[in-house]
Structure 1
């Protein structure tokens, strides 16, 4: 008969993490391979990263079984189902392509699911259940949810050029904006000026022009990397920093509230809301402001943090798809 396992894959922008769990959701093995976003590295390298992860997790489970005397006589591994949480894979044609790679390794009859990374993030907080809402606030931000009927809705995720309000990018951008308003004396003075120039090793506000517009270093991340300054200075009482984080909390609330309304979750007795992403997954001023506003308007929300990483969240989705 062999041992049935369930595989989850988190295909991020820098690496791919593959996890295998047993029928009780216990982790058996994991493997890290290179980036599997084919929009970034091409189809061949993305396919190789996914195949490497699957094959190595199966190999490691077999080795684990061999080391267990009870399983010594039969070390066959059967993959019951597999779930992939992939960045950059939203369209049907993308899912069919990635699915074809999975079938090459596990066979045409394999039960597989491919979700975007927001769905896997939700699962990481709900232990594999697709019910409730996730709010992700990292460099970008998005809110996504499911109701009990399995309907899914989302808000946000449009990227900085189209309005990533509440995101790490927007917080960083707002820091720059308020520092320059203070310089022009059209806004209040802020302690952000000193710490921003120190962080970027600049001597005066005018130097921000070359930093911001340097074509060799253009990225959304470099703006998002400024966001911790707002958290630090808000803790020290800087009013401008507190205003920036208050604006971010209001923007994130709007995304969450939109999904609640679209899914009719306001009529539920209770539903989970999962916080994830570097700006809100830990308790801080922003997460506190957001929680306060949510609970003032939706007393039936249960706010959760993720309890496992995205690859395990994907594995639990794979496991639950067989139940």
Structure 2
């Protein structure tokens, strides 16, 4: 069916992106919303449904792949996620998979390799030449997620409080944080305490502080630079722990918003000892690839190119 359409869903802790695409690799429509991680967002289902309902009655929709956070990790939540997709799209081919599995599919175009993910959370996912997958990390912010945006943001808050107390050297992160949160620097305990006790989405809002750390690190602040280096140490441990699952010369790549930090990516590259491969597709492209596989579509650079061009920042194609 040449007019068949596929739907890809890329869910995460901070956002969900939904994209409708055709067999030529053109993204025709998109929807973007807030995070849909059931581990920390009690409203994840409402948020997910809000952005899927406009696609539910798409006449030529033939396959849906939903890449969702925490899927396959906690069975009770995975059942709820599967049920939601089955209920919304009962008459099409469906696949639900972990969001990092889909990011790996996209980054390597379903080929072997190691993906290091650092977004709101962190994880490494590997697929070897036999098609077998393995993972490390992804324990959530209460247990792990070392090297993630949330991890960096939490430690930035620690560093700022310590510097204010005199338990750590002064850092430019303090002023950057006060400006970002619109806090009166003359009474930081009141301002930070008020923010911490009223923040609507703690995980996402703390993760957003990592962008401040990167900006201040680029300005040469030693405390901020140290946080970036520590994050790279943690992500390098993910790579070392999972490298044995793949062939010795397997490539690695990256995904997730934390890697918008050039400093972090360069620090991780130094630790791994070789440069990353450029991701073939962004995470939403991995979800679309998973949906396309359900229909046995031929997938090559002629399909990947339009997906990349219209995935995140480009304009949607006209039908």
Mark yes or no: TM-score above 0.5.
yes
Structure index of larger Rg? 1
Residues in 2 aligned to 1:173 and 1:181: alpha-carbon distance in whole angstroms: 13
Contact 2:21/2:288 (8 A) holds in 1: yes
Conserved 8 A contact 1:85-1:116? yes
Please give the per-residue CA displacement for 1:89-141, whole angstroms capped at 9, x wherever unaligned.
333634652463366222xxx4x3221111111122223x1522222212221
Structure 1 portions without partners, runs of 5+: 60-78
Q: 1:251 to 1:43 in 2, by over 3 A?
A: closer
Q: Distance in 2 between matches of 1:220 and 1:27?
A: 33
For the pair 1:97 / 2:76, whether they are aligned, the reply is no
How many residues align? The count is 285
Which residue of the other structure, out of 285, 289, 300, is the alignment partner of 1:316?
A: 289
1:292 to 270, 283, 289: 270
Aligned residue for 1:221, secondary structure, equals helix
| Cα distance between partner residues in 1 of 2:17 and 2:123 | 21
TM-score, length-scaled by structure 1 = 0.75
Runs of 4+ in 1 over 6 A off after TM superposition: 33-36, 42-45
Partner of 2:135: 154
Q: 1:71 — aligned with what?
A: none
| 1:1-323 correspondence to structure 2 within 5 Å | 2-3=1-2, 5=4, 7-12=6-11, 14-22=15-23, 26-27=25-26, 29-32=28-31, 37=36, 39=38, 40-41=42-43, 46=48, 50=52, 52-53=54-55, 55-56=57-58, 58=60, 79=62, 81-90=63-72, 91=75, 93-94=79-80, 96-98=82-84, 100-101=86-87, 104-106=90-92, 110=93, 112-127=94-109, 129-200=110-181, 201-204=183-186, 205-211=188-194, 213-215=196-198, 217=200, 219-261=202-244, 263=245, 265=246, 267-271=247-251, 273-280=252-259, 282=260, 284-295=262-273, 299=274, 303-320=276-293, 322=296
Shift of the 311–19 alpha-carbon distance from structure 1 to 2, 3 Å rule, reads farther
Classify 1:290/1:38 alpha carbon distance in 2 versus 1 (closer, same or farther; 3 Å): closer
Q: 1:48 to 1:225 in 2, by over 3 A?
A: closer
**1:100/1:170 Cα in 2 relative to 1: closer, same or farther (>3 Å)?**
closer
Going from structure 1 to structure 2, the CA distance change for 1:217 and 1:83 (only over 3 Å counts) comes to: closer
Structure 1 range deviating more: 6-15 or 245-254:
6-15
Match of 2:313 in 1: none
- Normalised by the size of structure 2, how large is the TM-score? 0.75
Could you tell me how far apart the structure 2 residues matched to 1:274 and 1:51 are? 33
Per the TM alignment, residue 256 of structure 1 is displaced from its structure 2 partner at its CA by 2.0
Q: Decide whether aligned partners of structure 1 residues 101 and 311 sit closer, same or farther in structure 2, where only a CA change above 3 A counts.
A: farther
- How many Å apart are 1:226 and its aligned residue? 1.6
